[in-house]
Chains A and B, each alone.
Chain A
Amino acid sequence: MAIHDLEDMQLTETIVIDTTKDAVVIDGVTKIFKKSRPLLRWPRSEQKGKQREVHAVDNVTMTVKRREIMGILGANGSGKSTLVRILSTLLIPDTGRVTIFGYDVEKDERMVQRLINRVSVEASFFKKLSPMENLIYAARLYNMPGAEARAKIKSILTRLGIPKDRIGQPLEHMSRGMQQKVAIARAFLTAPIVLLLDEPTTGLDPRSKLDVQTFVEELRADHDATILITTHDMDEAEALCDRVAIIDQGRIVAMGKVEELKRAVAERLERTTPVSMNEVFMHYTAAHHITDADIERYGSWEKPSKRTRPRKRMRRSK
């Protein structure tokens, strides 16, 4: 059994991880959000039976192996970010269990927090502070001494193409792309063993996207990191991911290697020419299958009721 000590993380106690275990195990996880009711409201102000629950994640089961780059593909509102938040200890699932190298995200919260880091779609920073000030703050939270952190921050930011004279300037003066690179630098600073990237390249120009993708690959190569990335950029998924899972309305509707999924879709569509990843995505999320008959049968497609959600439509395409 391979045991790996995280000595370089500077964190307090030595964390022992079993590297033969899967890095991430998600087992039957469901998360339902209830829309809050106003404290004071007129009687009968709401329509009877109006949907007040949103199934953000619906009985998801999947595993990510150590050193794997796993892509979660899904449309806006499909449950990608909720899943990442659960993995990040920021949300508690209603049912099911999530473990990171065997540590439960709910019961072993602090241990999991030492193993992971996350980059979210919006670069979350104190915008008046400089990259250096923001990253020093992050480094200290992860038990890194100031002098060591400063040297490391300069090195990572420079590698990511942030000019030296901008490192001390407020982040609010930086472009979104630059801010996102600083967010990625913050995650890399703590050398996470599992890195969660929630649409890290959304809104970036092609060159910045490529920089980020290169850095992600380097992180895996140099630090043995396991990476879970959510995206709706099919090219990025194809370029980076060893495997992808497609999520739709909170459910995993397809999972496998990119080439496997392409082949499966081509066969089902009886196509002899190769299908693109976009076609794979459209096929499994089935948005193009909506017909007038569907709308008549299920009501408005914008807000399908839970009871009549057309799950069969998705399963049909598996």
Chain B
Amino acid sequence: MSSLLHQGRASYAFFERNWNLTKRYWAWEIVWLVYNIVNALAVTFIGAAAQDLPGTKGLKIDTAPLILFLVIGTAVWSYLSVTFEGVTDLITIERWEGTIEHTFMAPISRFTHLIGSCWYAVAHGMLFTFIQLFVVGAFFHLDLSHANYLTAVFMLLAGSVSFIGFGIAASALPLLFTERGSQMSYIVRAVLLLVSGVYYPVSVLPGWMQPLARISPATYVLQGLRAGLLENKAVWSPEIWSNTWPLIITGIVSIPLGVFIFRIAERYAKRSGKLKRNG
């Protein structure tokens, strides 16, 4: 019990620390939020322009569902990006600030360290996404009368679990590659963006790429979220459940696997001296 209390307290330490850092770096948070909103708008305007694009002249296209499809894609992508970055940055930030050795010296389990950093990333990502959705929605007068918001939140949370596992595994990269490890973790995000059907249905991907979509948690988050927001599907409906169980399985596998990979990387860093800030 006392051990659980200690791990809980330590986990909260990471949440509180990250919240304090967010408050101190508030200007950067605004820049990042504006960047995400502008990106989302740029993508969504493609949907609005569908009727005027080459090859569609004279066709009557209802752009509203396409716009909503893209808005959901950009929102989910923003959420996953912010969450993923929050997780992968747990090493980069500490190395940058020079605190990594102090944190790694603390008498806490690595699981506590990683999960403690992750739950702030989830809360942060959630806040960013809803602000972005609100602003982008105002530009396009979206019809969200059929939206089931409970399903939307549920799918984002369920997706977070499996994304955290991917993030933890990717955060081993800055531990191994002191100078460019953070940038190397971008490749994981980029592949997920490509194969998960963020801005297009997975069916347009080449046949050999489509199996990758099935192992990407983002695919199921997007499908579930679109079913909830476009078709008012409830959390307990079969359509949502068919996207939930793959996320649960991915989470069950990816979190322990991510922690395991991280521990191997940590041991390597302690053997080679790469834990030190300046490598």
Tell me which residues from 1 to 37 in chain B have a Cβ below 8 Å from any Cβ of chain A: 2-3, 5-6, 9-10, 12-13, 16-17, 20-21, 24-25
Return 30 A-B CB contacts under 8 Å, by A number.
A33-B272, A85-B273, A89-B105, A89-B270, A90-B101, A92-B271, A110-B107, A110-B109, A116-B105, A117-B105, A118-B101, A120-B101, A122-B98, A124-B98, A124-B277, A126-B17, A126-B20, A126-B21, A126-B99, A127-B97, A128-B25, A129-B17, A136-B13, A137-B17, A140-B10, A140-B13, A140-B16, A141-B106, A142-B107, A143-B10
Residue-wise, chain A 69-91 has the 8 Å CB interface mask toward B (1 for contact) of 00000000000001001001111
Select from chain A the residue with minimum beta-carbon distance to B4.
Answer: A12
Flag if B101 contacts A129 (CB, 8 Å): no
Q: CB-CB < 8 A to A126: which residues of B?
A: 17, 20-21, 97, 99
Interface of A is mostly: loop
Partner of A142, one of B16, B99, B106, B276: B106
- SS of B interface (majority): helix
Interface size on A, residues (CB 8 A): 39
Within 8 Å by CB of A13, from B3, B20, B275, B276, lies B3
Chain B residues lying within 8 Å of A88, measured Cβ to Cβ, are: 101, 105
Q: Are A90's CB and B99's CB within 8 A? A: no
A81 closest partner in B (C-beta): B276
Expressed in whole angstroms, the Cα–Cα distance for A278 and B3 within the complex equals 49
Give the contacting residue for A133; candidates B20, B101, B104, B107; CB below 8 A: B20
**13 further interface pairs, Cβ-Cβ under 8 Å (given A34-B272, A126-B99, A129-B24):** A88-B101, A90-B270, A90-B276, A91-B273, A118-B105, A124-B101, A125-B98, A126-B20, A128-B25, A129-B20, A136-B16, A137-B16, A144-B9
Q: Is the CB of A138 within 8 A of B98?
A: no
Whether A170 is near chain B, meaning CB under 8 Å from some CB there, is yes
Q: How far is the CB of A244 from chain B (nearest CB, A)?
A: 25
A interface footprint on B244-279 (CB within 8 Å = 1, 0 otherwise): 000000000000000000000001001111011100
* CB–CB A92/B267 < 8 A: yes
